Structure 1
Amino acid sequence: MEIPSRSRISMEIDGIVQGVGFRPFVYRLAARHSLSGWVKNLGSAVLLEVEGEGRAVELFRDAIVAEAPPLAVIGKVVVEQKSLCGGEGFHILESGRGEPGGGVSPDCDVCADCLSELFDPADRRYLYPFINCTNCGPRYSIIDAIPYDRPATTMAAFPMCPACLQEYHDPGNRRFHAQPNACPVCGPSLALFSADGANLPGDPLQETVAALKEGRIVALKGIGGYHLAVDPLNEGAVRRLRERKKRDEKPFAVMFPDLASVRRHAECPEKEGRLLQGVERPIVLLKKLPLQEISELVAPGNRWLGVMLPGTPLHHLLLRLFGGPLVMTSGNLSDEPIAYREEDAFRTLSGIADLFLTHNREIRTRTDDSVLRLFAGEPLFLRRSRGYVPRAVLLPAHQPAVLAVGGELKGTLCLTRDSRAFMSQHIGDLKNAATAASLEETASHLCRLLEIEPEVVAHDLHPDYLSTLYAEKIELPRVAVQHHHAHLASCMAENGLEGEVLGVILDGTGYGTDGTIWGGEFLLGGYRRFERRGHFSPLRMPGGDAAVKEPYRMALSALYSVHGDRLFEVSHPLLCAIPDGDRPIFLKMLQRGINSPLTSSCGRLFDAVSALLGVRGTVSYEGQAAIELEALAERGEADEPYPFLMVNGERHVLDFSPAMAAICGDLAAGREARHIARAFHRTVAAAILETCRAIREESGVERVVLSGGVFQNRLLTEDVFLLLAAARFDTYRHRLVPPNDGGLALGQTVIAGRSFQGE
């Protein structure tokens, strides 16, 4: 095609194109190609027109996508030919409102250029803990509205000094239109306080480092909230943090100064290293090295360590001055969201922290750390939050605007516009007023920030969840979504699937359509409907919710499924530990179902085996028994699964009582627990394969989606994947959102959107 000698085009670009230096990038690109025209923010898109020599315009158009700024995520580009109108120079115009668009940049790590300046004694921002530019720094956590301009951020409280203003208005400068731009003269500053709120003298950073080296606990204000920091090599200090935070055994994350330091303490292959060094700065689970100095109390009884690298200039400074790693765990009380306002931090953390290192840049939106692990060479989210939120997930089709409020555990929200779903940051377990309030705040902020007015609200089928109660207060049509159906739809949506699939959904708890507790499910269906075609054989939960915190109760139930009323005649260490007075009570509970609801939960089955093997009879955090059972199995060897039964009737029901009997027999024969644990994992995988084969024969469906919190278990997921692949199933898993309840809201939005469209 012949290129015109002179041309003018307009381009509308949406995606994450605000707060990432996109307009300055366009300005420099236009200058490179000697083009005239203009660029401006419009809603959350960028609109521009350029005019010049035809070939130059074509090169400019191609470079917009190929050379976009590192933090930009381009969604859609609309190009139109325009009439020539001349003009000189290229201009950045004032932002306009425009149509609601697609993106706000997540918060991100300090870039290499800023890091170089941070440690350059000749630079005017030398050791300044709030250094940033258009390629790095705070975004989502400080934005109040769009278009993304300084008055719409918490940096509005800091007027720029002449030197910063000059950078801000210089198109050739890296800080051209960098909204958080600041320096020691005009920007935010640090302060150090005692636990009772007294402002302490001296250099805040130096005093903090000295306190940490003395073994004291510091509450540190980061980019999205407070962390609690302590020396991980100081066992006494770590023990005090556990005692004060009332966190008996749940692992703490550790921040290391650099990758070399990480590799002295944990196995860190290349892909994990790249994840750690990404601008998102997530926590990544790595295997501990056998000889390393980190206190065992940091992650007791766990072969894995949650590792991260510094994610802000303040972290880089602190770790450099401290000279080693630091525990960096969320600053909150148990079951409460991370503290992010000063008054909340001092109220909730003053009984934990000895000192508070804070600053006067307000955090608009709290964002906890993201957590990932690697599976089959790809990231698997355990928590999707800071650094990734609110990047959109592309949906298979356009749909109405839906607000989904998730479930109870690992709470997140999801908002949709057209074919995009915007997941919120991790909110926490919705078990108290504080997390419920955080849910409402987050919903309000996301709707305002993304300019979405929901047409329908989606929530879990469980009537008593705080998220359900919140949804009921919203004056919009509501769609109640069955928990495991939402898991199925979540995995379908992120993989762009339509039609019918077989969902293998394994988790701990979900309210079933029959009023019982589901959790080991084989669902056949899609977004609009599903059938329960199979499930794990139900077990009693003696004591109801008490059985979640005391897995030995599930072990009793599993043994009862084998031995019935002769339960306490069996020889097993766990049974011997039950006091004589409690035995008749447990037996009646199991015989009559008194305060012992039925559950098909895979998570509870793992709890039972964990307790049977003496791994974990009680837990101090959710999933602990299964996590430690997996860690034990990773050290074991077993090629053959244990026996199980598949009872075929109206549904395919998997009965694991033969496996329980065989496990007890192996224990009595002296087989090592690690080998038994490995064989149990193979048993569950083999049972999944057999059930999928049976349902395929009936339905012809060959696509399988794997979802639910149990698929955080790397060993089980790997076994299932390999077996299904060998049997020629097309298998899909999560990569963009967590398989646990943190991904539930995504599935709710699509189910509710399709349902609302249908009506």
Structure 2
Amino acid sequence: MTEALTSKRLEINGIVQGVGFRPFIYQLANHHGLNGEVANTATGVSLMIEGPEDRIRQFIDDLPNRKPPLAHIVDVSVSPAPVTGFSAFSIVKSRAGVSRSTLISPDVRVCDDCLAEMRDATDRRFGYPFINCTNCGPRYTIIDDVPYDRPKTSMRHFTMCPQCQAEYDDPDNRRFHAQPNACPVCGPRVTLCDAHGKMIAADDPIADTAVRLRQGQIVAIKGLGGFHLAVDATHADAVARLRRRKHREEKPFALMCSSLARVRAIARVEEAEARLLVSIQRPIVLLAKREPSPIADSVSPRNRYFGIMLPYAPLHHLLLDAGFTALVMTSANLSDEPIAIDNTEAFSRLGGIADAFLVHDRDILLRTDDSIVRYSAGHMRPIRRSRGYVPVPVFLREDMPPVLACGAELKNTICLTRGRQAFVSQHIGDLENRATDDFFRLTVEHLKRILDIDPRVVACDLHPDYLSTRYARELSGLPCVGVQHHHAHIAACMAENQADGPVIGLAFDGTGLGTDGTVWGGEVLVADCRSFTRAACLAPVPMPGSAAAIREPWRMAVAHLNAALGEDLAGLPLPLFRSLEKKQVAVIMAMMEKQINSPLTSSLGRLFDAVAAMIGLRGRVAFEGQAAMELEMILDATESGRYPFAWDDHGEPPLHIAVTPIIRGVVRDLTAGLSAATISARFHNTLIGLFDALCRHLRSGTGIDRVALSGGVFQNHRLLTGLTAALEKSGFDLLTHRLVPANDGGLSLGQAVVAAANVTDS
């Protein structure tokens, strides 16, 4: 090199470990004729680079444009350094440090290069179910600490053979420093076991598993983030048996198909949905069913959709190579428990469900469920954000202090913040038992460790009986900020859109404790990330039986009918009363009159339940949100009619949105003999017209022209698409969820942002 030399130090932060970033730097430096060294550190990647100024400049320009597919660069710090006279470019050993702010890659699908090798009979990894490279495979579920090196993963128990070690040490190899690198000689192995955990001799355990599935057996299969319970989805008896044993009465099962062509044979797939299916995250995607279908009816009963994913682990591909139309691949647990991840634990917990177990000896360090998404209103909408997406952070508008937000009770996640990054955990589940509470606590400690975040503030829901709230208030030495449930929903939507406010926030769900001690859920807020005003809500009605009214929507139907009609309800010619005795109705009426266990609620979710029950669709539910979901499933998309609506525009906020005209309209249509499909459509249309009109009314008084939509009710495709179109036509700037779920799975993000705003302001 005859040109004048200069030297630069680069510190690169982001998802830059375990994704082939150092060999990329090595190859890029050699491409530009530069010398120096690169190393992993606890904050990301650090490198020294020496050479002519113009070549260094081009090297830096190429970094974001030519990076590996799994890498995500957050920032690059460049500073001058003294020339030391490197004679070549090299990759050096990882350096420890006091700060550990590097980002960790999620688990992603096996790449096409690895699949080609796995199916090549001449390749040494032919048929190997743990094939991976720096561009694919497990990350988050096998890491115990950072920097991300093999001794700090669950691969530390497997010593690489000479061939694997040579690949691992070669910067020009696709498996350079691929921490899960292994082969059949030195790596993890699969074993087939019976229902008691005793090994079954099999030359090819995966092929034997396929035979058992064909015969109608239930097999527990260990994957990346936990076990699945699998059956042949075309085998109706097997699916029914799985429902009985798992105690999962009607909630849809997820399906896995071998290819996009297989998916298209059983479901309608739009181009945007196909992109989601084949993405590296490989989520479960909700897709419209094709009819008739070879899939057993009980896979997704009373539902127009299947939840389908493509295989993401090599083992899945090998299993589906047996030619299945689809496999049911549902989380391996009893209802309300976390998925099993440990072999011994699986044998104990699932022995009464599974006929056989396909296990392996690579430990899963942190359970991670499959993610669920839906394409709606022009964008991907996460319903459950987990495998493939976690722990990629949500990037915030501005720096925040380190906060731990503990989420809500249902669909729990936790959130930790660091600077402009908010790390929302994988789906933890419903905090209703000891097992899930233990998983919650483990997740908090694990994320604090691998992200090196020491929270200075803890945030929680206002409800004192949530296990997450109790945990937050038990933490000693930390200020605890209680955040109202629906404010957290709106704040989460603002946070992921990097907006502060004020906004008109529509927060619609089933249950959330309000600041007045009643149950909220049909809320129109004027809010920013610090505070809110309750501008409007559904007119409250009693919730007879409290939590029992969630399980039995007919109770809410009686409550709304009583509020709207105030007469002898049992005499009304409604489908609801065909399945109820007059005594049952009388008991509920007495409870409400005497205010016995009948808290007031403004919940829109409960209004959906009431209408579903009134038309005879669903008087009792087997899972949360079932009645509302089925009400959406039956609607007639060609119907354009709607019911009258109004709100009380007198006195102090909040405005009370009158539900009475809607209920009376439903009763009128029922007695006139109109179909449930027509009534459902009119009900949806009414809500769209109502909230569009109400937002326009509030804009005229506040000048706010930005609306944020959040809460579990916005998982309703018809409501989201219809209201989005109406509000945009009315000239509103609309904020919706695309990064975290609109349901309570995104609530922890909002709690963190609200707590940080209040602590900073104080």
Question: TM-score under structure 2 normalisation?
Answer: 0.98
Kindly indicate whether residue 611 of structure 2 is the aligned counterpart of residue 605 of structure 1: no
Please name the residue that 1:180 is paired with.
Answer: 180
Cα distance in 1 between the residues matched to 2:8 and 2:453: 30
Please name the residue that 1:568 is paired with.
Answer: 570
* 8 Å CA contact retained: 1:652, 1:691: no
Please name the residue that 1:495 is paired with.
Answer: 497
Give the CA deviation at 1:5: 4.6
Kindly indicate whether residue 72 of structure 2 is the aligned counterpart of residue 50 of structure 1: no
Q: Which of residues 648, 662, 668 in structure 2 aligns to 1:659?
A: 662
Give the CA deviation at 1:193: 0.8
> Which range is displaced more, 684-693 or 120-129?
684-693
> Which range is displaced more, 538-547 or 516-525?
538-547
Give the CA deviation at 1:100: 2.5
* 8 Å CA contact retained: 1:637, 1:674: no
Query: What letter corresponds to residue 182 of structure 1 in structure 2?
Result: A
Quote the RMSD (CA, aligned, Å).
1.3
* 8 Å CA contact retained: 2:100, 2:450: no
Cα distance in 2 between the residues matched to 1:389 and 1:293: 34
Please name the residue that 2:162 is paired with.
Answer: 162
Please name the residue that 1:513 is paired with.
Answer: 515
Please name the residue that 2:295 is paired with.
Answer: 294
Please name the residue that 1:630 is paired with.
Answer: 632
Cα distance in 2 between the residues matched to 1:185 and 1:209: 24
Query: What letter corresponds to residue 653 of structure 1 in structure 2?
Result: H
Query: What letter corresponds to residue 160 of structure 2 in structure 1?
Result: M
Give the CA deviation at 1:322: 4.4
Give the CA deviation at 1:589: 1.7
Give the CA deviation at 1:64: 1.2
Kindly indicate whether residue 343 of structure 2 is the aligned counterpart of residue 353 of structure 1: no
Kindly indicate whether residue 729 of structure 2 is the aligned counterpart of residue 726 of structure 1: yes
Secondary structure (helix, strand or coil) at the match of 2:141 reads coil
CA displacement, residues 169-205 of structure 1 (integer Å, 9 cap, x when unaligned)? 1111101111110000000000111111111101211
Please name the residue that 1:125 is paired with.
Answer: 125
Please name the residue that 2:757 is paired with.
Answer: 754
> Which range is displaced more, 731-740 or 570-579?
570-579
Please name the residue that 1:745 is paired with.
Answer: 748
Cα distance in 1 between the residues matched to 2:697 and 2:463: 30
Cα distance in 2 between the residues matched to 1:703 and 1:464: 34
* 8 Å CA contact retained: 2:684, 2:718: yes
* 8 Å CA contact retained: 1:491, 1:706: yes
Kindly indicate whether residue 712 of structure 2 is the aligned counterpart of residue 713 of structure 1: no
Cα distance in 1 between the residues matched to 2:578 and 2:125: 67
Please name the residue that 2:309 is paired with.
Answer: 308
Cα distance in 1 between the residues matched to 2:567 and 2:102: 61
Please name the residue that 2:113 is paired with.
Answer: 113
Query: What letter corresponds to residue 741 of structure 2 in structure 1?
Result: P
Cα distance in 2 between the residues matched to 1:409 and 1:278: 28
Structure 2: tracts of 5 or more residues without a match: none
> Which range is displaced more, 580-589 or 649-658?
580-589
Please name the residue that 2:481 is paired with.
Answer: 479
Cα distance in 2 between the residues matched to 1:297 and 1:640: 33
Query: What letter corresponds to residue 310 of structure 1 in structure 2?
Result: P
CA displacement, residues 305-346 of structure 1 (integer Å, 9 cap, x when unaligned)? 000000100111111124431100000110011111122211
* 8 Å CA contact retained: 1:412, 1:427: yes
> Which range is displaced more, 81-90 or 230-239?
81-90
* 8 Å CA contact retained: 1:565, 1:587: no
CA displacement, residues 636-683 of structure 1 (integer Å, 9 cap, x when unaligned)? 432232012211232211112111111111111121211111110011
Give the CA deviation at 1:224: 0.3
Please name the residue that 2:89 is paired with.
Answer: 90
Task: Say how many residue pairs are matched.
Answer: 756
Secondary structure (helix, strand or coil) at the match of 2:504 reads strand
Secondary structure (helix, strand or coil) at the match of 1:263 reads helix
Q: Which of residues 542, 555, 561 in structure 2 aligns to 1:559?
A: 561
Please name the residue that 1:225 is paired with.
Answer: 226
Query: What letter corresponds to residue 723 of structure 1 in structure 2?
Result: A
Aligned 1:568-607 pairs, distance under 5 A = 568-607=570-609
Cα distance in 1 between the residues matched to 2:645 and 2:53: 71
Aligned 1:676-715 pairs, distance under 5 A = 676-715=679-718
Please name the residue that 2:70 is paired with.
Answer: 71
Cα distance in 2 between the residues matched to 1:601 and 1:395: 30
Give the CA deviation at 1:56: 2.5
The verdict on how the C-alpha distance between 1:394 and 1:127 changes in structure 2, with shifts beyond 3 A counting, is same
The verdict on how the C-alpha distance between 1:134 and 1:413 changes in structure 2, with shifts beyond 3 A counting, is same
Secondary structure (helix, strand or coil) at the match of 2:630 reads helix
* 8 Å CA contact retained: 1:209, 1:322: no
Structure 1: tracts of 5 or more residues without a match: none
* 8 Å CA contact retained: 1:414, 1:749: yes
Cα distance in 2 between the residues matched to 1:353 and 1:322: 22
Identical counterparts, % of pairs = 51
Secondary structure (helix, strand or coil) at the match of 1:241 reads helix
> Which range is displaced more, 672-681 or 151-160?
672-681
Please name the residue that 2:674 is paired with.
Answer: 671
Cα distance in 2 between the residues matched to 1:680 and 1:196: 52
Query: What letter corresponds to residue 431 of structure 1 in structure 2?
Result: E
* 8 Å CA contact retained: 1:428, 1:435: yes
CA displacement, residues 257-303 of structure 1 (integer Å, 9 cap, x when unaligned)? 00000000000111111111111110000000112211111000100
Secondary structure (helix, strand or coil) at the match of 1:396 reads strand
Cα distance in 1 between the residues matched to 2:733 and 2:571: 47
CA displacement, residues 93-141 of structure 1 (integer Å, 9 cap, x when unaligned)? 1111233224100001101110000000000000000000000010000
Cα distance in 2 between the residues matched to 1:275 and 1:574: 40
Aligned 1:26-45 pairs, distance under 5 A = 26-45=25-44
Please name the residue that 2:151 is paired with.
Answer: 151
CA displacement, residues 608-660 of structure 1 (integer Å, 9 cap, x when unaligned)? 11111222111101101011111111x34322320122112322111121111
* 8 Å CA contact retained: 2:100, 2:146: no
Give the CA deviation at 1:4: 7.5
Cα distance in 2 between the residues matched to 1:541 and 1:686: 26
Please name the residue that 1:249 is paired with.
Answer: 250
Q: Which of residues 498, 503, 506 in structure 2 aligns to 1:504?
A: 506
CA displacement, residues 444-501 of structure 1 (integer Å, 9 cap, x when unaligned)? 0000000110101101000000101111221211111110010010000000112311
Cα distance in 2 between the residues matched to 1:499 and 1:301: 40
Secondary structure (helix, strand or coil) at the match of 2:276 reads helix
Question: TM-score under structure 1 normalisation?
Answer: 0.98
Cα distance in 2 between the residues matched to 1:436 and 1:471: 12
The verdict on how the C-alpha distance between 1:4 and 1:631 changes in structure 2, with shifts beyond 3 A counting, is farther
Give the CA deviation at 1:571: 2.4
Cα distance in 2 between the residues matched to 1:498 and 1:180: 42
* 8 Å CA contact retained: 2:575, 2:615: no
Secondary structure (helix, strand or coil) at the match of 1:329 reads strand
Cα distance in 1 between the residues matched to 2:173 and 2:601: 62
Please name the residue that 1:371 is paired with.
Answer: 372
CA displacement, residues 28-63 of structure 1 (integer Å, 9 cap, x when unaligned)? 111222211000011131011111233322221112
* 8 Å CA contact retained: 1:636, 1:677: no
Cα distance in 2 between the residues matched to 1:269 and 1:580: 49
CA displacement, residues 574-595 of structure 1 (integer Å, 9 cap, x when unaligned)? 2243213323212212323222
* 8 Å CA contact retained: 2:377, 2:724: no
Aligned 1:197-276 pairs, distance under 5 A = 197-202=197-202, 203-276=204-277
Cα distance in 2 between the residues matched to 1:21 and 1:44: 16
> Which range is displaced more, 735-744 or 679-688?
679-688
The verdict on how the C-alpha distance between 1:44 and 1:111 changes in structure 2, with shifts beyond 3 A counting, is farther
Secondary structure (helix, strand or coil) at the match of 1:705 reads strand
